[in-house]
């Protein structure tokens, strides 16, 4: 069922939802959360698709906030309700025009599912300055950003670390769960003490930075970042006395695990689609302390790497952080000086 409401109000949207639910026999019963997607017209389609897929695991009401032409003088709200066609749950696309776009929370609040958790997700490059104090972020228990989609990826991630509040998380972190799982499994076996490490990945990769930071925090050793041609993360090397434990994935599909004194083993290590990432985020709604540790360490390392070189550059970096995404990858160059800040269009 598809209902279009133009120039409407939240009251009318609510009524339409209730009525549609009666007609369809109550698909909203048993919804476990509300997912707010803050996006624009261009990224909307993929995001809603991913959310619909994730809703198979987590039945939810999806509120998609699309701001259109915020400069216009008159406010207008258009709504599109989709129910019962694509899966469980219901999807509402809210298009906001004019000054209303600045007050999206006033539209969203009455439409939240009562007394169930709220998750706000910013797909695409629209990463808020501070997710927790953003009006739509403040409504949520869990705030999901994607620093990889931002123009200044590493600068964005560092800024997110600075304003971290419990409940924040980033897709750059979600993307490396497979890697972390494989590495943790590798260390479940007996091994010698680890004395150092290296993460190689395409330059300017927030996921690689987080992986390196996580390994540093957990292992208490220095983990250096090396640049490669990608795609994504291409390898991790852990140095031990008896030899290196390495996981390499040059093609973005199949990883090879090598350990001293043992045959190489191969395992499929796929890059994951957006719906998978979102479903993982919706599985746990409590603060991710491990992410906090990793992202804080990353921000600290980044500023340490930047500071001694040039005080001016640091000031610039700070400016850049404040002026979100205006510049392209300046801070990233400092972190990975060996390689140019190359950008590839592929998602990780």
Partner 1 sequence: MTDTAPNPLRDPRDKRLPRVAGPCVLVLFGVTGDLSRKKLLPAIYDLANRGLLPPGFSLVGFARRDWDHQDFRQIAYEAVKEHARTPFREDVWEHLSEGMHFVPGEFNDPGAFDALAMAVKELDASRGTGGNYAFYMSIPPKFFSTVTEQLQRSGLADRSENSWRRVVIEKPFGHDLKSAQELNDIVHRVFPEESIFRIDHYLGKETVQNILALRFANTMFEPIWNRYHVDHVQITMAEDIGIGGRAGYYDGIGAARDVIQNHLLQLLALTAMEEPTSFSSEAVRAEKAKILSQVRLPDDLSLATARGQYAAGWQGGVKVAGYLEEDGIPQSSTTETYAAVKLEIDSRRWAGVPFYLRTGKRLSRRVTEVAMVFQKAPHQPFSQTDTEELGQNALVMRVQPDEGITVRFGSKVPGTSMEIRDVNMDFAYGESFTESSPEAYERLILDVLIGDPPLFPRQEEVELSWRILDPVEEHWASQTKVDQYKSGGYGPESSDAMMARDGRVWRRL
Stretch that binds partner 1, among 123-131, 205-213, 277-285, 323-331 (CB under 8 A): 277-285
Q: What angle do CA 122, 293, 331 make, to 5 degrees?
A: 65
**HEC string for the chain:** CEEEECCCCHHHHHHHHHHHHHHHCCCCCCCCEEEEEEECHHHHHHHHHHHHHHCCCCCEEEEEEEEECCCCCCCEEEEEEEECCCCCCEEEEEEEEHHHHHHHHHHHHHHCCCCCCEEEECCCCCCCCCHHHCCCCCCCCEEEECHHHCCCHHHHHHHHHHCCCCCEEEHHHHCCHHHHHHHHHHHHCCCCCEEEEEEEECCCCHHHHHHHHHHHHHHCCCEEEEECCCCCEEEEEEEECCEEEEEECCCCCEEEEECCCCCCEEEECCCCCHHHHHHHHHHCCCCCHHHHHHHHHHHHHHHHHHCCCCHHHHHHHHHHHHCCCCCCCHHHHHHCCCCCCCCCCCCC
Q: Quick one: which of 280, 297, 321, 325 contacts partner 1 (CB under 8 A)?
A: 280
> Which is closer to partner 1, CB of 33 or CB of 332?
33
Min CB(223)–partner 1 separation in Å: 12
For partner 1, which is the closer residue by CB, 264 or 323? 264
Residue among 188, 304, 312, 338 that touches partner 1 (CB under 8 A): 188
Per CB under 8 A, 242 contacts partner 1:
no
Which one of 35, 50, 212, 279 is in contact with partner 1 (CB under 8 A)?
Answer: 279
Task: Kindly tell me which of 97 and 291 has the beta carbon lying closer to partner 1.
Answer: 291
Restricted to residues 83-142, the positions that interact with partner 1 (CB under 8 A) are 87-88
Per-residue tokens: 346 = 């592929």
CB of 103 to partner 1, least distance (A): 33
Range in contact with partner 1 (rule: CB under 8 A) among 13-21, 281-289, 296-304, 339-347: 281-289
Q: Report residue 21: phi and psi, to 5°.
A: -65, -40
Identify which of 106, 130, 136, 133 has the alpha carbon closest to the alpha carbon of residue 118.
Answer: 136
Out of 220, 308, 312, 345, the residue judged to bind partner 1 by CB under 8 A: 220
Q: Is 219 in the site for partner 1 (CB under 8 A)?
A: yes
Taking the least distance from each CB to partner 1, the nearer of 118 and 321 is: 118
Closest approach of partner 1 to the CB of residue 70, in Å: 36
For partner 1, the closer of residues 26 and 308 by Cβ is 26
Tokens 């809603």 sit on residue: 48
Told to check if 249 binds partner 1 by CB under 8 A, we report no
Report d(CA 109, CA 106) in Å as an integer: 6
> Interface mask (CB under 8 A) for partner 1, residues 47-76, using x and -?
---------xxxx-----------------
CB of 231 to partner 1, least distance (A): 14
* Residue from 14, 195, 266, 346 binding partner 1 (CB under 8 A): 266
Q: Which of residues 20-49 bind partner 1 (CB under 8 A)?
A: 27, 29-30, 32
200 contributes a contact to partner 1 by CB under 8 A: no
Residue ranges binding partner 1 (CB under 8 A): 27, 29-30, 32, 56-59, 87-88, 174, 177-178, 180-185, 187-190, 194, 215, 218-220, 253-257, 259, 262-270, 279-280, 284, 286, 288-290
């Amino acid at each position: 069922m598809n209902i279009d409401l133009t120039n409407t109000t939240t009251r009318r949207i609510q009524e339409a939802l209730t009525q549609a639910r009666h007609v369809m026999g109550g698909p909203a019963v048993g919804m476990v959360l509300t997912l707010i997607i803050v996006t624009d017209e261009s990224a909307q389609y993929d995001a809603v698709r991913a959310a619909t897929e994730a809703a198979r695991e987590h039945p939810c009401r999806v509120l998609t906030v699309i701001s259109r032409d915020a400069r216009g003088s008159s406010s207008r709200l258009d709504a599109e309700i989709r129910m019962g066609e694509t899966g469980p749950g219901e999807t509402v696309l809210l298009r906001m025009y004019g000054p209303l776009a600045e007050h999206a929370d006033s539209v969203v609040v009455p439409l939240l599912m009562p007394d169930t958790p709220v998750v706000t997700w910013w797909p695409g490059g629209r990463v808020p300055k501070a997710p927790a104090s953003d009006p739509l972020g403040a409504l949520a228990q869990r705030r999901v950003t994607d620093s990889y989609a931002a123009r200044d990826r590493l600068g964005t991630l560092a800024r997110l670390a600075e304003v971290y509040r419990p409940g924040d998380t980033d897709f750059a972190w979600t993307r490396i769960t497979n890697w972390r799982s494989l590495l943790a499994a590798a260390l479940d076996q007996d091994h010698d003490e680890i004395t150092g490490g290296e993460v190689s990945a395409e330059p300017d990769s927030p996921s690689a930075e987080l992986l390196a930071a996580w390994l540093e925090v957990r292992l208490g050793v220095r983990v250096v970042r090396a640049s490669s041609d990608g795609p994504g993360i291409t390898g991790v090397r852990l140095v031990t006395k008896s030899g290196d434990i390495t996981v390499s994935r040059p093609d973005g599909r199949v990883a090879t695990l090598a350990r001293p004194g043992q045959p190489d083993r191969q395992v499929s290590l796929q890059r994951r689609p957006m719906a998978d990432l979102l479903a993982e985020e919706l599985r746990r709604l409590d603060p991710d302390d491990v992410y906090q540790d990793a992202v804080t360490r990353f921000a600290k390392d980044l500023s340490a790497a930047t500071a001694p070189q040039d005080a001016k550059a640091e000031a610039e970096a700070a400016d850049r952080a404040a002026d979100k995404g205006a510049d392209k990858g300046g801070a990233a160059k400092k972190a990975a000086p060996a390689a140019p800040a190359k950008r590839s269009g592929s998602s990780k």
